[in-house]
Structure 1
Amino acid sequence: NPLLISLLKCLKTDTDVVVLITGVLVLITLLPMIPQVGKQHLYEFFDIFGRLASWNLRNPGHVPEVYLIHLHASVYSLFHRLYGMYPCNFVSYLRSHYSMKENVDTFEEVVKPMLEHVRIHPELVTGTKDHELDPSRWKKFEIHDIVIECAKVSLDPKEASCEEGYASMPEHFCAHLQQRPADCTASPFGDFHSSYGNTLILYELLIQT
């Protein structure tokens, strides 16, 4: 698809942060529409995530803080989409990429906090990297089904699904959210802390050799 190829090239090479923010949001929207991607494109998605995750920490373009906040929020949403759709492949990428010394700071400051806002994905237990790319896996899903499945593994109230039959957040936490003042400039995962213990398990999955 020429459109997808152009979008990926832009996200891998462009240095205009506004263009990057827009491109990431387009990619997040497109992914549920094109779930049967090949390995080449999948690894490109992961490389884009890695590039933009480090952008906030290093700020190579010396862009104003307000733009970094929006870029951070869009990369955070991309994290949720990739983890929700391709958990085995994505966790494998994270383990490989962030085991390199030059990427440790980005992991600690940017990626690790993101991991604290997702549940253990069932596919990490029952799935495989090859199965995630099998066209038969996606035949039973409509676009909205994929979006819902991604939301189900999120612990972020802005991303999480409240679908009937799926574990909901504790009532005391929901009450806490309602008491919080709205802050459009806050980090998308500023002070959210899960009590489920999923973070430790997922982190161990990530760092195991």
Structure 2
Amino acid sequence: MKNVLSKLLGRYQRNERGIAAVEFALVSPILILLLLGGTEMGRYILVHQKAEKMAYSVSNVISQLDTVTSGDVDVIFGAVTELMNPYDNFETRGTLFLSSVHKDPADADQTIRWQCQGGGSLTANSRVGEVGSGNAAVLPGNLDLEDDDNVIVSEVVYTYQPMLTWYRIQNITIYKSAMFRPRLGALTSAPGCPTGV
């Protein structure tokens, strides 16, 4: 009996058929996880870049105008969804704030002269502040303006929803901002957009 058992075990030890299939079965979940994780990370990085480019582009375009009208703001808000394409739905997961921040020489505080929100329906608050809140505007990087200086600030707030919702990854809020000084005019007059948030 012992001889028969050792022959069977010896035959199984020498038999290497199916080893590759077993190794692949052991390694394939790890490879699939790496593939999906790499895809998700790449998508997250691209959405970050698109949000940053959106904030930069909007602030840059507005700062080049000599006056801002409600038509200009409507065109900008209509175009922001295209800046996020082909990734996700900015109309429901994002919003854009446009603010004109001015420092009056007679006042020590920086104030928001006008502010518009649009481009998407996400409920969010501007980190710069709100029109008429009585609080000083807080610029990115805690920038302090000189007297009679003005900047156009655009803020993009976007809720990133991962593809891999089964793996405890929650929605992530992406915030990007950009500032430009107006080039052709002060841009301190409200363009007729809804003020506040």
* TM norm. shorter chain > 0.5: no
Q: TM-score, normalised by structure 1?
A: 0.27
Question: Would you tell me which structure has more strand in proportion to its own residues?
Answer: 2
More helix by share: 1
**So what's the TM-score if we normalise by structure 2?**
0.28
* Bigger Rg, which one: 2
